[in-house]
Amino acid sequence: MHRVGISCAAVMAALVAFCLLAGCGGRGAPAVTGNADGAEMARQTAATTVTPASVTRPAPQLPKPIDPMVVLHTTAGDITIRLFQEKAPRTVENFLRAYAERGYYDQTIFHHAEPGLMLIGGGYTADLQRKQPRAPIYNESRNGLWNRRGTVAMIRDPDAPHSATSEFFVNLADNADFDYRSTDEDERPGYCVFGEVVEGMDIVDRIAQLPSVKQGEFEKVPSPAVSIASVERLQ
């Protein structure tokens, strides 16, 4: 019995000592003096403490670029187009900065309609006079975007891949023949897709289905003429 009492007292003393060293019930860290075991325990406790500075944080995510949106205000109705800034940066920059924001497209008409194929605009006035374009741009048709119905692409000289300036067309169907192609033997440039109609495709179809007339070298001009009054940037 005496041994049991000594053992219990020793256990209680050890618990009290541990609480004192660990700061049980206290306000702040205990003072450790003249006790090698206590100092070692405090050192080990401090070594295993995780401070906020040592916590691994995920790298901040950069915001994704917002695709510009524009509205073509036409005499037949509004056509809203999303521009693929990331996939076709040079072409979008050309469309916005060189032409749309300068008012170049104002009062130009859709001068060629090919039902089931494409609707072309962006270069001629109502009397079919060519507006002076800026310098041609690099062809970005190798960007993974395809000429599917509703997409918007650049007009260029069929024999000169890097000849696009201001004219563009809306695909009225899936036009795989206009896409970039590459094989082991050959590489064929395509027509660069840089946007997509998100609202107003019914307006595009309506323009393309108008009766067409031949005027000089222009074989299929929609009649009555449909013009772009202005281009408004939404974002």
| CATH number for 183 | 2.40.100.10
Q: Alpha helices, DSSP H only, in 49-171?
A: 89-93
Q: How many whole angstroms from its chain centre is CA 120?
A: 25
Q: What share of the chain is helix, strand, coil (3-state, %, to 5)?
A: 25, 25, 45
Strand partners, 71: 80, 232
Same domain for 42 and 84, yes or no, is: no
Q: Note down the domain range covering 223.
A: 69-233
* pTM score, whole prediction: 0.73
Task: Say yes or no: 50 and 74 in one domain.
Answer: no
The pLDDT, as a whole number, for residue 3 is: 44
Give the C-alpha separation, 97 to 48, whole Å.
Answer: 59
**pLDDT for res 186:** 86
Below-50 pLDDT ranges, the chain: 1-34, 54
Distance CA 1, CA 126 (A): 116
* Residue 179 · residue 91 · CB < 8 Å: no
